[in-house]
Structure 1
Amino acid sequence: MSIVQRLLLPLLLGPAAALAQQAVTYTEIAPILQARCVLCHSGASAPLGLRLDSLEGLRAGSQRGPVALAGKPQDSELLLRLSGARQPRMPMTGPPWLSAAEMSLFERWIADGLPAGADPAATAPAPPAQTVDGPVTWTQVAPILARRCSKCHATQGLMGPPPEGLRLTSHAEALASGERARVIPGAPEASELLRRIRGQARPRMPYDGPPWLDEAEIALIAAWIEQGARDAEGRPAATPAGARLRLHGTLGAGWTLDGLPLRVGTGTRIDKSPRPGDYVQVRGRWSGQDVEVERLRRR
């Protein structure tokens, strides 16, 4: 539809049509951004500097340029990411993704030229406080990983392909154990993800820290793993018996790794004469109850 046709259409079809053609303003999309996007895209640590907690931040875009091109929704990075036409799809905590109605609002807003409307500060709700009632599920853990980890550990993150192939943008990816398992449901001390976040293994994660995750966030992730690494519906994950492990930490007396018992046998390869107190790497498999060590070496 041409601009002239668009201007004439309300006159031809009457007041109801004119009302339907009113421009979407930032006031209408601000609550969606607040609920689904600003968890990550706010403050100094916003991925690529893209802040979505204000109209000014959205219009400014990211380090790579504008994300919303006035009048060009089909070319706007924001809409391409929200629709999944470009990966990784946003918001990083999805699914669920934005609804068709919400997507339509963003498309119309961009097509209408990014109008501001009334001050959205009075209408945008504050982000809900995170509370845990009952078992910890992926729903509570995903926002932490999205904010601090998924900027790199995504299909195409800040460092390009995800480091060591680890993606943290979905429950299934976080629990994947193809090359090796990073999360052992029910066994937080044997979970590489938690050991990296705590700093028991080096380099400590997230890679852009400090600041690291705070104590409450680390405790929440530890509780999630301890309780079975439940999905968003609260279903505990299966134990990956036989999955390969690669753990780093401090060797303790009696073949322990930061207190985690290790099963060391005659078939275990031990390199560089590690002693208690040494920082070591352990390679092995999860038996379903403990770590069967195949190789242990001082680092």
Structure 2
Amino acid sequence: MPTHPARGLAICLLLALLPATRANTDEPTYREIKPILQARCVLCHSGPQPPLGLSLDSLEQLLKGSQNGPIVRAGAPSSSKLINRLKGLSQPRMPMTGPPFLSEEEIALFERWITGGLKPGSAERSAEVDSSPSVSPGSAVNYAQVEKLLVRRCVKCHSPSGLMGGPPEGYLLTSYAATLSHEDRARVVPGSADSSELVRRIRGQARPRMPYDGPPFLDDTEIALIVDWINQGARDAQGKPASLPTGAKVRLHGRLEANWRLDSLPLKVNAATRLEHSPRTGDYVQVRGRLTSGGALIIERIRPRH
């Protein structure tokens, strides 16, 4: 049966459009990749000290790679370190804040971008992302500001599949709820940075000092940000202060001072407190206790540690 001329023309036009449509579908550009990087990756991979020197806040930095070399190879997704990290074929799997990790569709998008030759999609340079804390002294601090710092320096270990396997001592720093969890013990005591194990670790009052990959450790401005956040009530991202975990266990390390003080932190010692191995002023000690409703520490045990 002969084809009507108009119908034949329409079919030809449709066939002519199909290759372009397929190209747009199969070969995404950096413009489609960038939002995923900004949402899931640049919290760690940006700023002055990104892991392994790998910044992902611009196409130029992504193509530059890390101190170990390029992370993407045009036309070869299976040989690209980025894909192997996203899939978990190389450990630790990325992003470090997972699970959830990237979806299969998102990973496939990266693979198609690499297969298509790493097309930029725009002549515009992407704006660099500053993940360093920018809070003036005395201003209100919430978790959204602290999260950037925790993700960049701490989550690489304190995540379900971190550099050390599981999170050290089971402590996750991948979310607000995990950071404030007191299921095992309270590492953050809202309203009292001096009573918070997290602070004592980053200050170096407790050993080993954190982050574990330091030096460099957190600088004075970064530590002050976390101290202010906790002293202001450990607010969530919306600014709501956390509740005090009354009765929660607390475990601290530090230098025992006169009158039952731990690096200037007053301890409530009573007749029920167990003093193991005769701790003395000047000893580096471990202190275990519980929080009262007023935020004070009722000490159950003190013992020297070496």
CA contact (8 A) 1:268 1:296 kept: yes
Distance in 2 (CA, whole Å) between partners of 1:234 and 1:83 is 35
Distance in 1 (CA, whole Å) between partners of 2:84 and 2:239 is 31
TM-aligned CA distance change 1:102 to 1:125, over 3 Å: farther
Question: 1:128-165: CA deviations, max 9, x gaps?
Answer: 76433752111000111111111000001000011100
State the match for 2:299 in structure 1.
Answer: 293
Distance in 1 (CA, whole Å) between partners of 2:146 and 2:204 is 18
State the match for 1:184 in structure 2.
Answer: 189
Question: 1:175-196: CA deviations, max 9, x gaps?
Answer: 0111111001111110000000
Quick one: which of 121, 125, 145 aligns to 1:140?
145
Question: 1:36-58: CA deviations, max 9, x gaps?
Answer: 53342258954466543565764
What SS does structure 1 have at the residue aligned with 2:303? strand
Task: Structure 2 unaligned segments of length 5 or more: list them.
Answer: 1-11
CA contact (8 A) 1:284 1:294 kept: yes
Residue 252 of structure 1 deviates from its aligned partner by 1.3
Letter in 2 for 1:132: V
**Percent of pairs with identical residues:** 56
State the match for 1:40 in structure 2.
Answer: 44
Q: How many residues align?
A: 290
State the match for 1:115 in structure 2.
Answer: 119
Letter in 2 for 1:219: A
Distance in 1 (CA, whole Å) between partners of 2:39 and 2:144 is 14
State the match for 2:253 in structure 1.
Answer: 248
Once the two structures are superposed, the pairs formed by residues 26-175 of structure 1 within 5 Å of their partners are 26=30, 29-30=33-34, 33=37, 37-42=41-46, 46-47=50-51, 50-53=54-57, 55=59, 58=62, 90=95, 92=97, 106=110, 108-110=112-114, 112-116=116-120, 121=125, 123-127=126-130, 130-132=133-135, 134-175=139-180
Question: 1:13-45: CA deviations, max 9, x gaps?
Answer: 379848955843336545763675334225895
TM-aligned CA distance change 1:107 to 1:50, over 3 Å: same
Quick one: which of 198, 217, 221 aligns to 1:216?
221
Distance in 2 (CA, whole Å) between partners of 1:224 and 1:44 is 22
Distance in 1 (CA, whole Å) between partners of 2:120 and 2:226 is 39
Question: 1:189-225: CA deviations, max 9, x gaps?
Answer: 1000000000111111011111110101000000100
State the match for 1:194 in structure 2.
Answer: 199
TM-aligned CA distance change 1:159 to 1:171, over 3 Å: same
State the match for 1:205 in structure 2.
Answer: 210
Distance in 1 (CA, whole Å) between partners of 2:87 and 2:143 is 22
Letter in 1 for 2:29: T
